[in-house]
A and B are shown apart, each in its own frame.
Chain A
């Protein structure tokens, strides 16, 4: 198959699943042709609403994703899923099990699901995921969901491709919340307490709200504060919006703030039965609307692109620094440092200049 012929590009734009699948494989094995492919597809991408779903292992991310696909299909949206699963650090092999929960959608021609192992991509997980995203975006899926586990840096960071991030957690995991607080709390836009059929759900919902309030009080850099506040303010006389904020979002009065402050939605779901999944889907779609209406979508995508490009450059540097020529150069520099002809700063400076050539 000629990866980048015009007819291939046309097949992707038409949503030909077989072509899409084959081209994702091209990306996965870091084949050179993919560079031209991504270049040609770039102009057709940028329309999809990209959704990141993350949270601790076993929280129900795949089950939530499965039910969300159903909700989005009811609203006539075409949906694609990138399900990232950890690889074994020993053999590099992997069992990609997220799909088990989504088999109901296997034969739907408007749903495309692809599993991605977390390791073994020459260009790194972030690159493989980003390029897969471009292909699916060009294939005109309305919503693209990235499911990734909320542990391990490379796994977590790929939610940064998303416009909307849903954090899935479960009741009664005190430590879990601590872990979330330590890093990904700030990046969540919507909070989902799944397995709400279990004890302690209300308490966990309260704890998350309390944490969100604290974050706002401390002026912590969150993704959500500005967006919700601005949308809420613009729609002060819109009763539907006011109602939605009074519901799952919650509104809080904080000392030092004149106006009440809207919080992100915290939604208790039972993914297994579908309870409150409709509300979750509504919140996700509303979040997309808010991003567009407030103009913050562009800002967010700017931030995402900044991260993506920065990340790609770091990958390029890593690749280059690991080349045998660079290693040779480095060894020579080390020798000079040992002989006290160069200090370490001078040596690193010289290597840096060498890498730029």
Chain B
């Protein structure tokens, strides 16, 4: 029996609400994944330490506030410092097209903008895990 995919759903930055993050958390759960949810206003340090302690396969972050160009690369930097290289990191939220290449270059595997069906995100996760489910 394959183990379950473990995902950390995190909200870095100062966003005032987390409706979107909760929707994705529920969709991932309904797809049979184990979702750890951190709640609002997490620092990159908190997110990375949580990913490390929970030994997740995926970190999924969402930002609405516009601070993605700072926060996403910072999370990636800390992930590398902690040798969490086999964790798939994806991002979502209100992110201009022009910013996407830079974020991908920083190591975010994919960016999902508003309106992306949750099924797309789920399929992307399943197809791009960096660790075996054995």
B83 within 8 A of A: yes
Provide the bound-state CA to CA distance between A17 and B36, in Å.
Answer: 18
Provide the bound-state CA to CA distance between A92 and B52, in Å.
Answer: 23
Provide the bound-state CA to CA distance between A20 and B53, in Å.
Answer: 8
B34 within 8 A of A: yes
Per-residue 0/1 for B24-64: is the Cβ within 8 Å of any A Cβ (1 yes, 0 no)?
Answer: 01101111111111110011011001101111000000000
What residues on B are CB-neighbors of A88 within 8 Å?
29-30
What residues on A are CB-neighbors of B42 within 8 Å?
103, 106
Provide the bound-state CA to CA distance between A88 and B30, in Å.
Answer: 8
Provide the bound-state CA to CA distance between A22 and B37, in Å.
Answer: 19
B3 within 8 A of A: yes
A47 within 8 A of B: no
| Sample of 10 further A-B pairs with CB below 8 A, known A93-B34, A106-B45 | A17-B53, A18-B83, A92-B32, A93-B31, A95-B26, A96-B35, A99-B38, A103-B38, A103-B39, A114-B54
Per-residue 0/1 for A1-36: is the Cβ within 8 Å of any B Cβ (1 yes, 0 no)?
Answer: 000000000000000011011101100110000000
What residues on A are CB-neighbors of B54 within 8 Å?
21, 99, 114-115
What residues on B are CB-neighbors of A117 within 8 Å?
4, 34
| Sample (9) of A-B pairs whose CB atoms are under 8 Å apart | A21-B55, A93-B28, A93-B34, A96-B35, A96-B37, A106-B49, A107-B45, A113-B53, A115-B34
* B3 in contact with A93 (CB, 8 Å): no
Provide the bound-state CA to CA distance between A128 and B74, in Å.
Answer: 34
* A99 in contact with B4 (CB, 8 Å): no
Per-residue 0/1 for B10-28: is the Cβ within 8 Å of any A Cβ (1 yes, 0 no)?
Answer: 0000000000000001101
Q: Among A17, A103, A120, which residue has the most Cβ atoms of chain B within 10 A? A: A103
What residues on B are CB-neighbors of A115 within 8 Å?
34, 36, 54
| Chain A residue with Cβ nearest B83 | A18
* A95 in contact with B3 (CB, 8 Å): no
Provide the bound-state CA to CA distance between A88 and B1, in Å.
Answer: 18
In A89-125, the 8 Å CB interface with B consists of 91-97, 99-100, 103, 106-107, 112-115, 117, 120, 122
What residues on A are CB-neighbors of B4 within 8 Å?
92-93, 117, 120
* B46 in contact with A96 (CB, 8 Å): no
What residues on B are CB-neighbors of A25 within 8 Å?
55
Main secondary structure of the interface of A (DSSP, over half): mixed
What residues on B are CB-neighbors of A28 within 8 Å?
3
| Chain B residue with Cβ nearest A18 | B52
B82 within 8 A of A: yes
* B52 in contact with A95 (CB, 8 Å): no
Given contacts A88-B29, A96-B34, A21 and B52 within 8 Å (CB-CB): yes
Provide the bound-state CA to CA distance between A107 and B25, in Å.
Answer: 23
* A95 in contact with B37 (CB, 8 Å): yes
Provide the bound-state CA to CA distance between A25 and B87, in Å.
Answer: 14
Provide the bound-state CA to CA distance between A234 and B10, in Å.
Answer: 52
Given contacts A18-B83, A103-B46, A117-B4, A94 and B34 within 8 Å (CB-CB): yes
| Chain A residue with Cβ nearest B50 | A106
Per-residue 0/1 for A36-79: is the Cβ within 8 Å of any B Cβ (1 yes, 0 no)?
Answer: 00000000000000000000000000000000000000000000
* B50 in contact with A99 (CB, 8 Å): yes
| Chain B residue with Cβ nearest A109 | B49
Provide the bound-state CA to CA distance between A87 and B4, in Å.
Answer: 11
